Amino acid sequence: MKNIRNFSIIAHIDHGKSTLSDRLIQSSKIISDRDFKDQILDTMDIERERGITIKSQTVCLPYTAKDGKSYHLNLIDTPGHVDFTYEVSRALASCEGALLLIDASQGVEAQTLANLYLALEHDLEIIPVINKIDLPSADIERVKGQIEEDLGLDPETAILASAKEGLGIEDIMEAIVELLPPPTGDADAPLQALIFDSHYDAFRGTIVHFRIKQGTIRPGDRIRFMSNDATYKVEEVGVFQIVRVPQKELSAGEVGYMIAGIKTVSDTRCGDTITHHRQPCDKPLPGFKEAKPVVFSSIYPVASDGYEDLTVAMEKLKLNDASLIYEKDSSAALGFGFRCGFLGLLHLEVVQERLEREYDLSLILTAPSVRYRLVMNDGEELVIDNPALYPDPTTIEYAMEPYIKATIIVPDRYMGAVMKLCLERRGINKNYQYLTNDRLEMIFELPLAEVIYDFYDKLKSITQGYGSFDYDLIEYRRTDLVKLDFLINGERVDALSMLIHRDNAVARARVACSKLKDEIPRQMFKIAIQGAIGGNIISRSTVSAFRKDVTAKCYGGDITRKRKLLEKQKKGKKRMKMVGQVMLPQSAFLAVLKTDSE
């Protein structure tokens, strides 16, 4: 066991985690140059296209140190985006140490700090690595100063590297072997293993990724999951070396996978403990904090007969993504679907894209909302995240919405622009301090509902990409909440409704009405699109009708003939309007989600 090291790579977005993993994998020669491709651990198409990591991936690297000893290094690559912090915390629970990557030109950013605190919570040994030293804009001395001041780590221990050019890879390998502690645990004790991930294989069932804390596991063993007492017989255990490599056994301190013919996907839960059926361990491992969803949206199939396929797809996706939470839902306009909870808007986009690609579904999503608490006149408290469940406003004493503490790190020249953005979003400026002579840490308290739409994109654009943002939920506060409905041709469309702060309602309704006007195809009659709060119409736009020139055949003669024909046409249009159905295209639902003229 003293020749095993379990470590992960943590950093802010785009500081080079996946590229460094690529170099470490290449230097260990577990894959031939011919089969190698960039971002080798990012297996999903969507990860490769967007150039981001979404799922943590594991790989076991053999390494021979300078003193001639051979080691097994278990690397767990992690995502950097704030929506996937949950993946990072799971990865860290199965490690003893972490490489903290810092970009030599960007320096320490918000997620660098957030991930450092996550690692310190797990008592991990941390090795700072300054990456991208080959960039012309790299300023190594400045970054070393930030490591000391912002992170409280010793800047002299920082390793200089360029993952792209392959510089400093040998030093990183040596540092992992020398500075990180080996795992502890007794291979002869009763089995105790922590599930930190799993994925579904159509041929082998559920493949469980786990880290063994105590004991040994071999094919043929009967094991038990402690959360639900399901028992299985192990068919295969092994390690990941890009492909699955079966082993005779795995013992304490190792990270690997297990196949045990698990058909019901809901049986494997991240954070569950695996033990032997005959001689179980005393108590389960502490597991993970439940991921708390912050953004809610409903997903419906475009065709109502797609509901069965959507149910199966959601079950399988839930296995690959433990932070996705969903329940059944139905709507008058869209039929049956699911109400889902997400960790943020990027998470929502990723889930939608994965459902559409991997399971070949066509979906409609409703406007995302957050969870509100309503205190009723009789003192009862309701929690709602769906505008359809909003009760009669006269029965509500007051409403409360979630607030977040947002930490924004920016160069000080953008201070005014960031201040303006946050105050527009009903933010409260709590504090700001200089981290170094030109970098500010600004702390705001913001309503979460104002952040989930496009706050992150706006922040990136006003700070030219230098602003970084991290947030934590703090508490619920009183708010003036209203339900904004949209009426098409006088009929309410429940899938377009949204809960919104009263001050923003009029502006939001106007934008949405003009968006809908562009998206709804013209009919033979006029279509009124209205935004309403209760019975009050607060905005309107009209899709004008096609006009058939019924007077074309009247040449000359009396004007009354023309008038008679136009009156007749008017009556026909009126009748049509009574029975006419307006079909909303898929793009109309998406148009309402976009806030400004993107």
Per the annotation, where are the binding residues for GTP? 14-19, 131-134
Residue 586's H or E segment, with its range, is helix 586-593
- Give CB contacts under 8 A, 24+ apart, made by 490-495: 490/528, 493/333, 493/584, 494/331, 494/332, 494/333, 494/387, 494/388, 495/298, 495/300, 495/331, 495/333, 495/334, 495/364, 495/366, 495/589
Q: Distance between CA 342 and CA 346 in Å, rounded?
A: 9
- Is-contact 99 172, C-beta < 8 A? yes
Q: Strand pairing of 468-479 and 236-241?
A: unpaired
- Is-contact 235 201, C-beta < 8 A? no
Give me the residue label for tokens 């005014």.
416
End-to-end C-alpha distance for the chain, whole angstroms:
55
Helix ranges, 335-454 (H) = 345-358, 415-424, 448-451
Interacting residues of 24 by C-beta distance below 8 A, sequence separation 6+: 61, 73, 75, 169, 172, 173
In 419-516, the DSSP E strands lie at 428-436, 439-447, 468-479, 481-488, 491-492, 498-501
Cβ count within 10 A of residue 579: 7
Cβ count within 10 A of residue 329: 17
Beta bridge partners of 112: none
Residues annotated in the binding site, as ranges? 14-19, 131-134
145, exposed or middle or buried, with CB in 10 Å at 0-12, 13-18, 19+?
middle
Q: Distance between CA 27 and CA 305 in Å, rounded?
A: 51
Q: Provide the greatest CA pair distance for the chain.
A: 109
Q: Which two tokens stand for residue 564?
A: 């008679």
Q: What is the 3-state secondary structure (H, E, C) of 389-401?
A: HCCCHHHEEEEEE
